[in-house]
Amino acid sequence: MSGNITLTMIKPDAVRKNQIGPILKMMNEAGFRIRGMKYTRLSKEQAEAFYAVHRGKPFYESLVEFMTSGPIVAAMLEKEDAVTAFRELIGATNPANAAPGTIRALFAESVQNNAVHGSDSDENAVIESDFFFSKVERF
């Protein structure tokens, strides 16, 4: 059975352009309920840990630099089959391949500066939610 939680970040590119509001609106209108939320800025160590699975890839160091370049919004979102439904809402990692009307098609600048993150599996949704939110920060 698939899980009902996914973890998103609104990334520094979108925060810089005042797109927090419109992006959250799209998430809410697509039926996602916010179960935890914070506005924060990742340290280098935190960004490296969050993206540890990509360590060694050609884009890793640039990704860490980008993700620490400004504040982000992290949120735990709930919906039936959340990981799959959310990946449909945000579109492909590379905005050039993102379906029209998806969050990345509308807001992403590039494959790196792609406006939002979404967990890629139920297992990672749990790991990533635990990364950002303690027990008293989720409702």
Task: Supply the residues annotated as catalytic.
Answer: 117
Cα–Cα distance between 76 and 128 in angstroms, integer? 9
In terms of CB distance, is 30 or 111 closer to ligand CMP? Answer: 111
- Give the interface with ligand CMP as residue ranges (CB under 6 A): 54, 59, 63, 93, 111-112, 114, 117
Query: Rg of the chain's alpha carbons, rounded to an integer?
Result: 14
The structure tokens 């340290």 sit at: 43
Work out how close the CB of 120 gets to ligand CMP at its nearest, in angstroms, rounded to a whole number. Answer: 7
Query: CA 51 from chain center: how many Å?
Result: 12
How far CA 100 is from CA of 53, 63, 88, in Å, comes to 29, 25, 11
Work out how close the CB of 110 gets to ligand CMP at its nearest, in angstroms, rounded to a whole number. Answer: 8
| Other C-beta atoms lying within 10 Å of the C-beta of residue 75 | 23
Work out how close the CB of 104 gets to ligand CMP at its nearest, in angstroms, rounded to a whole number. Answer: 9
Cα–Cα distance between 139 and 36 in angstroms, integer? 7
In terms of CB distance, is 87 or 138 closer to ligand CMP? Answer: 87
